[in-house]
Structure 1
Amino acid sequence: MQSSARTPAEKRPRVAIVDDDPDVRFTLEALLHENGFDAVPLAGSKDYFDLGTPPNIDLVLIDLKLNGESGLSLAINVREQHDIPIVMLTGVGDEVDKIVGLETGADDYLTKPFNPRELIARIRAVLRRCGVLHSGGSSPQAPASDALRFGDKLLDRSKRELLNTAGEEIPLTNAEYRLLEFFLRNPNRVIPRAEMLSELGNDLSQYVDRTIDVLILRLRRKIESVPSKPVHLQTRRGQGYIFVDHPGHTRE
C-alpha cells in the first residue's frame, strides 16, 4: 500500500477528516491533535481531491453519509486513485456489510457515536498495518490493566494488538479482536452464540449464528497451536463456546 515517505520519527501522521458536519470536524481535529496526529478537516469529496495527486496524507476518515454525495463512492475513488488507508464512520442502522464486505477498499469502520479512545486505537492499528506507524514506536506502553494475557500471548487493549511471546503482532480483523476481547473478559464461562451476537452489536446483528462459527475458526487459526484441538477456545456442543484461560480443562 502506498503512503508518504515520512516516518513517525520525522513527522506526525497526517489524517484527513471528510465529514459535512463542522462540529464533528472540529471535535475530530482536536482529538487527533491531542493524540499525536496532524488533522486535515474537509467538508466533502471536492475538498479532498483539491489536496492534489497524491494528497499529502497518511489516512482518511470518511463519513458514510455526506451532504449531497456518498461517502461510500468517495472511499472507492480514494482507493482506486490514491491507495490510501481508509476508516469509515457510519451511523447506527447503516448497512455496514456493504461497506466492509464489498470491494470498497475501506480498511476499518466505526459506528457513531463512538468511543474516542477506540477511534484513535483503530487509526493507529490501520497505520501500523500499512507501515506508517511501527509497533513499539512512539505510542506509550499499555498499562497492565489494559493487557490481557493467555498462554504465551497478550492482548494489548490500548493498541488493539494481539502479540505473541516474541512481541510480534498477530493481525486481527475488527470482529476477531472484539470477539477475542469479549472471551478474555469472560473466561471459563460457556457463552451462547446469541450473547456473542449481542455483544458484537451492529457489526454482526444482521447475520446468522453461522457467522460466529466462522469467526471462531479464524480465531483458532491465530491463537491455537493446533486449531483442530483447541486448548483455549473450546466448543460446548449445543451450548456455545468457552474460553479456557488456563490449560487443564477438558476439551469438547
Structure 2
Amino acid sequence: MTILVVDDDPEIRDILHIYLRNEGYRVVEAVDGQHAVEVINREAVHLIILDVMMPKWDGIKACLKIREEHDVPIIMLSAKGEDIDKITGLSTGADDYVTKPFNPLELLARVKAQLRRQTLTVQAASASNEITIDALVINKDQHLVTVKGQEIALTPIEFAILLLLASHRGQVFNIDKIYQNVWKDQSAFYSENTVMVHIRNIREKIEENPREPRYIKTVWGVGYKIEK
C-alpha cells in the first residue's frame, strides 16, 4: 500500500518515511498541499498524512480539494491542539487528527486502523455491485477501481467513463454518447478533446501499456469500447 506524507518539515517527513517503510508501506512525499494534490492525481494513494500549517496550500485547503475527487483516508497533523482546530480539520473531510508533537508509534497505529477500516468497508461491498474484467475490478457502490489488487485513483469523471464502458461490454460508444451519458448534457458546445483526454488518463492509470490497451479499445472512426 502507498502512503502520501505531506509536510513542509523534512525531518518529520524523514521520521514518518522510516517508520512507515519499516512496516512495509510504500511512501511518497509532498512538501505542501498543492504538491500533494498533484501527487494524488497522478498515482494511487491508499492513505494521506497531511500537515495543516504549510506554505502555498495549507492542509485545510488541500483536504477540501482532495475530497472533491477522492475518498482516500486522511490523517491530519497539527501543532494546534484546541478542540475547534480538530473540529475544523475533521469537518473538511479528514478521518483522524493527531496533534504535534506526536508519538510515531501512535500515529502508525492510527494509520493501520484507518487502512483496516477501509479494507473492511471494501470487503463488505456486495459482489453484485462489482464488475470484474480480468484483473480489473470496478466496485460501483464504493467508487473503487483496482487492477491486480492495486487501488487505482480515478477522478469521478474518469470513474464514470470507465463504468459506462464496462457496464456495456462490447458496445461501442462514440464521443458524443460518452459525453451525454457521463456529463448528462446534450449540449453541442463542448470539445471532443475533453473526452479524449479523460480516456487517455484512464488508460495511463489502468493499463500496463497504454499504447497497447488491454481494456479500453479504440474502434477507429467510431469510438471506444471494452470488449466482452
- With structure 1 as the length reference, what TM-score do the two structures score? 0.47
Q: Cα offset for 1:140?
A: 5.4
Aligned to 1:107: 66
Q: Cα offset for 1:194?
A: 0.4
Q: Aligned pair count? A: 137
Could you tell me how far apart the structure 1 residues matched to 2:61 and 2:206 are?
31
Q: Does 1:172 align with 2:131?
A: no
Could you tell me how far apart the structure 1 residues matched to 2:219 and 2:225 are?
7
CA contact (8 A) 1:234 1:243 kept: yes
Corresponding letter in the other structure for 2:193: R
> Residues 228 and 81 from structure 1, CA distance in 2 versus in 1: closer, same or farther, beyond 3 angstroms?
closer
Q: Any residues of structure 2 matched to 1:63-212 within 5 Å, and which?
A: 80=58, 82-83=60-61, 85-86=63-64, 106-109=65-68, 125-128=70-73, 130=74, 132=95, 133-134=114-115, 135-138=118-121, 141-165=124-148, 167-201=149-183, 207-212=190-195
Corresponding letter in the other structure for 1:171: A
CA contact (8 A) 1:163 1:169 kept: yes
CA contact (8 A) 1:154 1:163 kept: yes
Q: Cα offset for 1:83?
A: 3.9
Could you tell me how far apart the structure 2 residues matched to 1:204 and 1:243 are?
24
> Residues 197 and 108 from structure 1, CA distance in 2 versus in 1: closer, same or farther, beyond 3 angstroms?
farther
Post-superposition CA distance 1:9-32 (Å, at most 9, x none) = xxxxxxxxxxxxxxxxxxxxxxxx
Aligned to 1:94: none
Report the RMSD for the aligned CA atoms in angstroms: 3.1
Unmatched 5+ residue regions in structure 2? 1-5, 8-51, 76-94, 96-113
Corresponding letter in the other structure for 1:148: I
Question: How much identity, in percent, do the aligned residues show?
Answer: 20
Give 3-state SS (helix, strand or coil) of 2:224's partner. strand
Q: Cα offset for 1:204?
A: 10
Could you tell me how far apart the structure 2 residues matched to 1:126 and 1:138 are?
12
Could you tell me how far apart the structure 2 residues matched to 1:162 and 1:196 are?
19
Could you tell me how far apart the structure 2 residues matched to 1:233 and 1:176 are?
12
> Residues 192 and 140 from structure 1, CA distance in 2 versus in 1: closer, same or farther, beyond 3 angstroms?
same
Q: Does 1:227 align with 2:218?
A: no
Q: Greater relative contact order (Cα 8 A, min sep 6): structure 1 or 2?
A: 2
Could you tell me how far apart the structure 1 residues matched to 2:166 and 2:144 are?
14
Q: Does 1:216 align with 2:199?
A: yes
Unmatched 5+ residue regions in structure 1? 3-53, 55-78, 87-105, 110-121, 246-252
Could you tell me how far apart the structure 1 residues matched to 2:185 and 2:146 are?
24
Could you tell me how far apart the structure 2 residues matched to 1:239 and 1:138 are?
39
Give 3-state SS (helix, strand or coil) of 2:152's partner. coil
> Residues 226 and 203 from structure 1, CA distance in 2 versus in 1: closer, same or farther, beyond 3 angstroms?
farther
- Bigger shift: residues 137-146 or 229-238: 137-146
Could you tell me how far apart the structure 2 residues matched to 1:136 and 1:209 are?
37
CA contact (8 A) 1:175 1:203 kept: no
Give 3-state SS (helix, strand or coil) of 1:200's partner. helix
